[in-house]
Amino acid sequence: MEAYLDRSTGACHLKNPAVADVVASTIQKFEGIHYRLLAWVIMPNHVHLVVKLMPDRSLAKTVHSLKLYKSKEANRILGKSGTFWQREYYDRLIRDDAELSRAIQYVRANPKKAGLRDWKWVG
């Protein structure tokens, strides 16, 4: 699946700088409210986040909030309507500091691995 995504197959709406900026601002808006943001990247066709959820937040509610918050604006930029995000998402529980370090490194290296040069949507 990672190789498929890294080839930027499928809809690549996030390659549009205006759409990527909307998604980046959304990710950053919820920092300190729903989660502590440890690493993030917006790829042309998917997003990676490494977060520590706030005690009162569930992952499902948090992902729902992220997907809902500015999806209408992203669609407006693209001149489309309807569903912007896929319904499902892939999550992974990080169990220790070594896994956390690997996850952060993976996320931050993802644009280079996919051949994206001067990719600014990574943190």
Give the three-class secondary structure for 25. helix
For residues 38-58, average pLDDT: 96
> In CATH, what is the architecture of 2-113?
2-Layer Sandwich (3.30)
Structural tokens at position 79: 């001149």
pLDDT band at 47 (very low <50, low <70, confident <90, very high): very high
pTM of full prediction above 0.85: yes
pLDDT at 108 over 90: yes
Q: What is the pLDDT of residues 56-104, one digit of tens each?
A: 999 999 999 999 999 999 999 999 999 999 888 999 999 999 999 999 9
**Confidence (pLDDT) at 12:** 87
